[in-house]
Amino acid sequence: MAVTLTALEVMRDAPVIPVIVLHDVAHAVPMARALVEGGIRMLEVTLRTPQALACIEAIARDVPQAVVGAGTVRTPAEAQSAARAGARFAVSPGYTPKVGQACRDAGLPLLPGVATGSEILAAQEDGHSELKFFPALQAGGLAMLKAWQGPFGDVRFCPTGGIQPGNAADFLALANVECVGGSWLVPADALAAGDWARIATLAREAAGLSR
């Protein structure tokens, strides 16, 4: 039986949570092994493709060193399906109490997406203090996170959306940022070419970022 995680444990495992879009189930296991080889274990497989749940199931079954989660969780049904497939955490682009309750019922720690102070308050009312700031750059970036340090000093963020190797360190340097989310660890061309060595190298570089 897998150990139940907290959202904070998910965030603190590595400086970056990869945001992964998979179109081919055959890519899931070798990709996950490459990320783990590079030091990244928390893997957010987004529910943006018809193959996503099968990919989560394959990683959960065949790569025990990885901790696979479901991203782009927007409905209670998606949370339930992700848990059945073997996901161990969930990430949402926004937040509703129904999604939060579904994740609690399924035993999935949730990183709810927020972009405003009111959304932070709504998530906190339901017990969430570890939040995804999304879309980070478009919603105010570093300046917004710095502004939130005063009124929301008890909240820890995973900014996602527009984060790249060139700006990740700036976000990680903030006191209220535990990790960042980024798609650059799993480029579409590397997946298509089966270039697992490149993905492992990108993961290694990401795992080495200071925070």
For the annotated catalytic residues, the residue numbers are: 44, 132
Which residues are paired to 133 by β-bridges?
Answer: 114, 159
Q: Which tokens go with 66?
A: 């990885």
Q: d(Cα 41, Cα 57) in Å, to the nearest integer? A: 16
45 phi/psi in degrees, rounded to 5: -95, 115
Q: Residue 195 is encoded by which pair of tokens?
A: 């270039």
Extract the tokens encoding 109: 């720690």
Helices of type H across 63-115: 76-85, 97-106
Task: Determine the 3-state secondary structure of 117 from DSSP.
Answer: helix
